[in-house]
Amino acid sequence: MSDTKSNENDRPKVKINTIDENNHDQRIDNYLMAQLKGVPKGRIYNLLRKGEIRVNKKRVKPDTRIYSGDIVRIAPIVVEPPKEVSAVPQKLMQIIESRIVYEDAGLIVVNKPSGLAVHGGSGLNFGLVEVVRQLRTKEKSIELVHRLDRDTSGLIMISKKRSVLKQLHAALRDKEGVQKTYQALVYGSWPKRKLQVNAPLLKNELKSGERVVKVHTDGKESLTRFKLLRQFEGYSLVECEPVTGRTHQIRVHTLHAGYPIVGDDKYSPSEQNKEAKALGFKRLCLHAAKLDIMLNDQRILVEAPIDDEWRNAMNKNLTGIY
């Protein structure tokens, strides 16, 4: 075979995929990211915008849902070979194994430590999901169900089956079947009567790629419910239930209410954070404390307390009022 013919055979070709039950009722962007591993997310969005990826011969947006029987046409695209998976330190694997608080045939719930990203990327070789994949090498469908900010600790769901991932995504989208409850230590005296913040949130991305969210009339509807748990001199421990699931929602809603979260380097005043660090609060004091899940007609209730370092700093260095 000539070099010319060989090169022609190596060139990427148009792909025509028929959607089956495994990918029924999925967003097209999520489907493409699974199909085109190695292709940056921004490039996939660009291909959709240019109409080089079509569903049933029509242009579609990233949030378009695909269903069984749909025909997806993917224009020729060079896919980089998958990078070699970075070895996760044994100590970290042991830590995460010890922090698995629930597991069954289709679901894992991990009490993620603060400081660990949920997935690799942006200079990180690995995150929580990569650790879990190396802990459960026999499972081939391990995926994040939702996300937590890197510096937020607490409960996060990881699916082991595509069917479970679909059910939980639907539950989160429909706001029925999954209830998340957080705890946050905030600056100031949170009023007992302050039970919710209902303020639209607008997400901006700076040139550096950093995401910043603010309350804005052009933003998406956002609602968080609150309950005062304990009050200290100059600080309050509050329970937070995000009804909607916007980026940085709790962090921005507490700021909007006038009570920013302790240790929040993005949204809290730096002088206050400096004082808090001197008291032992060396992290973002936001923790996903409880998950109430309905899955396959079974109720799964999982709880995880705030970590010892945070609790000890709060109990030893703050003066309790309520």
Give the residue numbers annotated as catalytic, written as ranges: 149
Q: How far apart are CA 319 and CA 322, in angstroms?
A: 10
Q: How far apart are CA 236 and CA 191, in angstroms?
A: 9
Q: How far apart are CA 45 and CA 27, in angstroms?
A: 12
- List, in order, residues 6 or more apart from 287 with CB less than 8 Å away: 152, 153, 154, 182, 183, 184, 304, 306, 307, 310
Cα angle, residue 276 at apex, residues 126 and 289 outer, rounded to 5°:
55
Q: Which string of DSSP letters, residue by residue, matches 37-84?
A: TTS-HHHHHHHHHHTSEEETTEE--TT-EE-TT-EEEE-----PPPPP
Quick one: DSSP state of residue 23? G
Task: Tell me the backbone φ, ψ of residue 253, rounded to 5 degrees.
Answer: -70, -40
Q: How far is CA 22 from CA 37, 74, 162, 165, 174, in A?
A: 18, 19, 7, 11, 20
State whether residue 8 is helix, strand or coil.
Answer: helix
Rounded (10°) CA dihedral 257, 263, 269, 274 = 150
Per the rule left: phi > 0, alpha: psi between -120 and 50, beta: everything else, 92 is: alpha
| Tokens read off for 318 | 């703050």
Q: Which residue has the tokens 């330190």?
A: 89
State whether residue 309 is helix, strand or coil.
Answer: helix
Q: How far apart are CA 73 and CA 129, in angstroms?
A: 30
Q: Which string of DSSP letters, residue by residue, matches 239-253?
A: EEEESS--TTHHHHH
